Amino acid sequence: MKTINIYIFAGLLFLLSACQEVIEVPLDNTNPKLVVEGAITNQPGPYYVKLSQTGDFYSTAPAPKVTDAVVTISDDAGNSEVLTHLSDQPGTYATSSLQGETGRTYTLTIVHEGQNYQAQSKLLPVTNIDKLEVRFVPESPTKDEGYYIYFFAKEPQGETNYYRFMVYENDSLYNSINDLLVSNDDFIKGDIENLELGYAFQLNDEVKLEMHSISKEVYDYYIGLINIYNNDGGLFSPPPVNPPSNISNGALGVFRASSVVSQTVTITGEE
Amino acid sequence: MNVSKGLLLLIFCALFGYSHAQSKYTISGYIKDARSGEELIGATVYVQELGTGATSNAYGFYSLTLPEGNYTLLYSYVGFINQKKALTLTSGQTINIELSEESVQMQEVVVSAQKMDENVTEVKMSRENIKIERIKSMPALFGEVDVLRSLQMLPGIQSAGEGTTGLFVRGGSADQTLMLLDEATVYNASHFLGFFSVFNPDAIKDIELYKGGIPAEFGGRLASIVDVRMKDGNSKNFAASGGIGTISSRLTLEGPLVKDKASYIISGRRTYADLFLKLSPDEAINSNTLYFYDLNAKMNYKINDKNRIFLSGYFGKDVFGFDDVFGLNWGNTTTTLRWNHLFSPKLFLNTTVLFSDFNYGFDINDGAQNFQWKSNLQEYALKLDFNYFLNPSNELKFGSNTMVHRFSPATIKPKNSNSIFESFALDNKYAVEQAFYLSNNQKISDRLSLQYGLRYSLFQNVGPGRVFQYAPGVPKADNTIVDTVSYGRLEKINLYHGLEPRLGARFLVDQNSSVKASYNRMRQYLQIASNSTAGLPIDRWVPADSYIKPQIGDQVAVGYFRNFKDNMFEASVEVYYKWMQNQIDFKDGAEILLNNNLEAELLSGKAWAYGSEFMLKKNTGRTTGWISYTLAKAQRQIEGINNGNPYSPRYDRRHNVSLVLTHELSPRLSLSGNWVYTTGSAVTYPQGFYEVEGQRIAYYPQERNTSRMPAYHRMDLSLNLAGKKKPGRKWESSWNFSLYNAYARKNAFTIQFRDVINGDPGVSEFDDDLVINTREPKAVKTSLFGIVPSVTYNFKFQ
């Protein structure tokens, strides 16, 4: 439903052939805030937690990495592991033995510069992908020519479920902001058939689709992230706010636990 | 409460305190335009011997009750030639008067016999009335004369931003302004996402805007009332008028059905940008749809001297589509049936039955992702408005207004069985809104006049409907609903009611100057649920209910009014202070459109605004126009926003200057210009960045709207060239050439903080075959318009 606004804005800009230019706007800078990106799944580990900090807006340097934190993941079954910092990937911490299990609740604890940060996420089950179909679509005003993938699944009804989809083409993840595909099942039928994935693939591409279960908090975070990325600061946009994080103590980012299912198809040209 | 009791007492004194024994007679009648037969609203009758007078009401009716004697009556109306009438009053009389328009040449010859000093002498303050002719002479965006955009040139009235037509009056939001078209509420007065308003200037007779001292007959919104009245149609002879413009064409036909008894007007306008789209060879462009149209129609029938009927309607629609994948349309429909009845020469009643509808819908048709979404809100109303012209010192108004609201916020249906979506509808909501009012305009002495009144309003939510009950002591959310109470048809769910006192006073300091003061309380039971500033057609109107309290606003205003040089110049200063309760906002990221329990997303608090408005107007001569300056501040304080501290809403602008001028170079040629300056909008700028999901994301502070966009200023020019007028010639025409944003100021519409690729803000990272050389975070300003030239041809035949 969020796409409606985007259509409207696109129309508006088209109508007015607006003019854009870079201007100088002096900005204040915040005190550095901790930024967390962590995930645990029901797939075999290791699982990673990446820590960094906010930087000056106009700086072109990458975000400063946090390499000296103590990062722990524990579950509600009494398992706990302190993650190891990977010196070849500064800011990334990895598990070595922990195994994510559906139904358990995971707690991430970070101690950094005397501050304590915490997040919880429940590892929810996910439905299966029944099949993926491949069909050729000719060029049209709204679509590029190519092979499109159609998704089939049975979606459990009676409760609200949230999903994140990840698309890999020949093992590389689509990772722009437009590829951050999240969805809930409000207004969605139990039998999902022929749901088109918005990518035009070419012959011989190997495409993998992963479906991750996420919690409402994580879903709200992703929606907030997409909104803030698309917020143009204009009068039709809501006031800009940071995405709601599930991490305590003013940290940014998210910690999520997900069940994952996936399917892979190779585009052979057959319909 | 004490204010209210005092007001009631005053009204009763006025009613029963004037039973002198002297014999008195009533002069009454209608004041009309001699050329078209249109009734004139707000024309004055002045009794020279007594120094008192009356003003014609919204239907051109006036009534004066005077003691027996010899009088000279002077009838006048701005831009029309005065008429004198000497009479000996020994019995009641009906005097219908037709005034003739001053022609351009006559303006310098005619010496105004009566001073046009209404702004000094009337009790009303904070009231704006721009003549439609003045609006038509102002330069316009794309040459499209726009009533609402012209109102934004007045002090205390702001827009949300470049081009948009929503009115933000004295620190109020756009949904706190009530837009009435022939008394029917227009819920979304915009076309093209707010760039044009729905009021077709050719069909409009009169526009009045109240931003303070709001009379008791109006209610329902906190900030202002925009009362737009449609023309009744030429009752003398057939006339056609119209225009061909850069983006739209207009045609109006009017004439008598039965001479001097019945007349009609029908007026239409349609844009044709979409016709140009079709010419494009690019399929991505020519498969799009984009247009709007308006249709106004009205007829009236004079049954006899005591009864007259008016039927008017408005129908407008916007249609917007991308290929056949996405379609959006929205529109308003209003219908008004009115019956004027004269019980006696002193008692006038207007009865109105009206219907208003706003609906929007969209269509998504992208393979299995297809659905149709419809939303609609409707209002049915019955209004009774009495005018009782008790004596020259007291004019009473009283009446009632009963409205039934029906909200159908969203119904979603899959377009076919292949859709992945299922049918879904939000609960419909029903409410009955009622108001009763009584007010008096009383002349206490030659210097002091009062206008006081009381309005009592009620708002009743009725079934069918359901109300969610939440667990006490925890935030309202989906998962804290403990019970759902269902209500049957017409069953009472929740009631709000309250008094709204209104008070105005005018003290004449001398012949040319006055001091005025006013107080009003307003109650508002409907509002737009939105967390953005400017309205979109898909905005959701929500009624007050068990969880959303009605908004209450109070305003005091004081002003000094002075005219110079025989009323050639009008000057005024007004100072106001406003405070508003039960202001709502929404949690960050709130789902508003598709939510049955909106109360879970709600935040509430208060707001206040204050300011001063300076205005200097020149009414006569070859150069006319005004300059105004507003110094104002608006604040909101809402728990959960800005750490609970007061903050500036986006539309809080400290300084605002408007200059509007028209100069007649010759009887056929006139030059007009506007200039506006406003402080930039209050906005939130980032204070850093962070990296997640491989993206750079701007970091925003908790504090809201502490930064300012660059100041906005713009000049518009237009040249109006009228064809040669020849006596007896039935065809008149004129050309209008206009330049919007004449010095090409690149005003910021938005400032976005984002990555700029290869130093070019126009490059998107999703462009095909893009080679990214550099990627730097920058502030990117988007400005909508450079110089916008336009040409319009207007014609008139009669």
Q: How far is B709 from chain A (nearest CA, A)?
A: 9
DSSP assigned state of A196: E
In-domain check, residue B121: no
Using CA atoms, how far apart are residues A229 and A225, in angstroms rounded to an integer? 6
Looking at residue B315, its pLDDT comes to 96
Q: How far is A202 from chain B (nearest CA, A)?
A: 15
Q: Are residues B92 and B176 in the same domain?
A: no
| Residues within 8 A of B (CB atoms), A 68-107 only | none
Q: Which helix (H) or strand (E) holds B281?
A: none
Looking at residue A2, its pLDDT comes to 42
Facing residue for A19 by CB, picked from B283, B419, B783: B783
Q: Chain A to chain B, count of Cβ pairs less than 8 Å apart?
A: 237
Looking at residue B495, its pLDDT comes to 96
Facing residue for B692 by CB, picked from A4, A35, A239: A35
Q: Are residues B570 and B497 in the same domain?
A: yes
CB contacts, 8 Å: A186 with chain B: 424, 594
Q: Are residues B479 and B378 in the same domain?
A: yes
CB contacts, 8 Å: B687 with chain A: 27-30, 57
Helices and strands, counts by H and E, chain A: 2, 18
Q: Is the minimum CB–CB distance between B160 and chain A shorter than 8 Å?
A: yes
Beta carbons within 10 angstroms of residue B753's beta carbon: 24
Q: Into how many domains does chain B fold? A: 4
CB contact under 8 A, A235 and B681: yes
Q: Strands, E, within B80-148: which ranges?
A: 83-89, 93-94, 97-99, 127-129
Q: Is the minimum CB–CB distance between A64 and chain B shorter than 8 Å?
A: no
Closest chain A residue to B162, measured at CA: A235
Q: Are residues B216 and B314 in the same domain?
A: no
Q: Is the minimum CB–CB distance between B727 and chain A shorter than 8 Å?
A: no
CB contact under 8 A, B779 and A23: yes
Looking at residue A74, its pLDDT comes to 96
CB contact under 8 A, A30 and B750: no
Q: Which two tokens stand for residue B794?
A: 């207007």
Q: Are residues B484 and B620 in the same domain?
A: yes
Q: Is the minimum CB–CB distance between A23 and chain B shorter than 8 Å?
A: yes
User: HSE-up of B271 (CA within 13 Å, CB side)?
Assistant: 25
Using CA atoms, how far apart are residues B208 and B130, in angstroms rounded to an integer? 7
Q: Which two tokens stand for residue A150?
A: 């159609």
In-domain check, residue B320: yes
Give the residue carrying structure tokens 């030639």. B81
Looking at residue A12, its pLDDT comes to 52
Residue that finishes a domain, picked among B187, B203, B227: B227
Looking at residue B393, its pLDDT comes to 87
Residue that finishes a domain, picked among B227, B248, B264: B227
In-domain check, residue B119: no
Looking at residue B114, its pLDDT comes to 43
CATH (domain of B413): 2.40.170.20
CB contacts, 8 Å: A30 with chain B: 687-688, 699, 701
CB contacts, 8 Å: B288 with chain A: 11, 14
| Residues within 8 A of B (CB atoms), A 188-217 only | 188-189, 192-196
- What is the value of ipTM here, to two decimals? 0.92
Facing residue for A142 by CB, picked from B323, B690, B780: B323
Looking at residue A176, its pLDDT comes to 87
Facing residue for A240 by CB, picked from B684, B690, B749: B684
CB contacts, 8 Å: A37 with chain B: 692-693
Residue that finishes a domain, picked among B201, B227, B253: B227
DSSP assigned state of B123: S
CB contact under 8 A, B690 and A37: no
What phi and psi, each to the nearest 5 degrees, are found at residue A159? -150, 160
Q: Are residues B54 and B193 in the same domain?
A: no
User: Do B698 and B662 form a contact (C-beta atoms < 8 A)?
Assistant: no
Q: Are residues B534 and B639 in the same domain?
A: yes
CB contacts, 8 Å: A254 with chain B: 692
Beta-carbon contacts of A178 under 8 Å, excluding residues fewer than 6 positions away, are: B766
Q: How far is B273 from chain A (nearest CA, A)?
A: 9
Q: What is the residue range of B35's domain?
A: 2-113
Interface test with B, best of A25, A182, A192, A195 (most B CBs within 10 A): A25
Residues with pLDDT less than 50, chain B: 1, 104-115
Facing residue for B693 by CB, picked from A54, A225, A227: A225
DSSP code per residue over A190-222: SEEEEEEPS--B-TT-EEEEEEEEE-HHHHHHH
Looking at residue B107, its pLDDT comes to 41
Beta-carbon contacts of B67 under 8 Å, excluding residues fewer than 6 positions away, are: B22, B23, B24, B89
Task: Name the residue among B694, B744, B741 with its Cα closest to residue B163.
Answer: B741
Q: How far is A54 from chain B (nearest CA, A)?
A: 5
User: What dihedral do alpha carbons B72, B78, B79, B85 form, nearest 10°?
Assistant: -10
Closest chain A residue to B768, measured at CA: A144
Q: How far is B579 from chain A (nearest CA, A)?
A: 23
pLDDT by residue for chain A (271 residues), tens digit each? 444 454 555 555 545 556 889 999 999 988 899 999 999 999 998 999 999 999 999 999 999 999 999 999 999 999 999 999 999 999 999 999 999 999 999 999 999 999 999 999 999 999 999 999 999 999 887 788 999 999 999 989 888 899 999 999 999 999 888 899 999 888 888 889 999 988 999 999 999 999 999 999 999 999 999 999 988 888 888 899 999 999 999 999 999 999 999 999 999 865 5
| Residues within 8 A of B (CB atoms), A 145-164 only | 150
Q: Are residues B446 and B356 in the same domain?
A: yes
Facing residue for A178 by CB, picked from B762, B766, B784: B766
Q: Are residues B638 and B540 in the same domain?
A: yes
Separation of first and last alpha carbons in chain B: 56
Task: Name the residue among A13, A28, A26, A177 with its Cα closest to residue B750.
Answer: A13
Q: How far is B288 from chain A (nearest CA, A)?
A: 10
User: Do B334 and B356 form a contact (C-beta atoms < 8 A)?
Assistant: yes
CB contacts, 8 Å: B416 with chain A: none
CATH (domain of B133): 2.170.130.10
Q: Are residues B254 and B179 in the same domain?
A: no
CB contact under 8 A, B690 and A55: yes
What chain A holds in terms of domains, given with CATH numbers, is 129-215+259-266 (2.60.40)
Task: Name the residue among B232, B266, B273 with its Cα closest to residue B144.
Answer: B273
Q: Are residues B105 and B136 in the same domain?
A: no
Interface test with A, best of B158, B288, B588, B695 (most A CBs within 10 A): B588
Interface test with A, best of B690, B753, B763 (most A CBs within 10 A): B690
Q: Are residues B316 and B389 in the same domain?
A: yes
User: Do B86 and B70 form a contact (C-beta atoms < 8 A)?
Assistant: yes
Q: What is the pLDDT of residues B193-215, one digit of tens each?
A: 778 889 999 999 989 999 999 99
CB contact under 8 A, A58 and B412: no
Q: Which two tokens stand for residue B563?
A: 């005219």
Looking at residue B16, its pLDDT comes to 61
In-domain check, residue B118: no
In-domain check, residue B689: yes
CB contacts, 8 Å: B532 with chain A: 235-238
Task: Name the residue among A62, A54, A21 with its Cα closest to residue B752.
Answer: A21
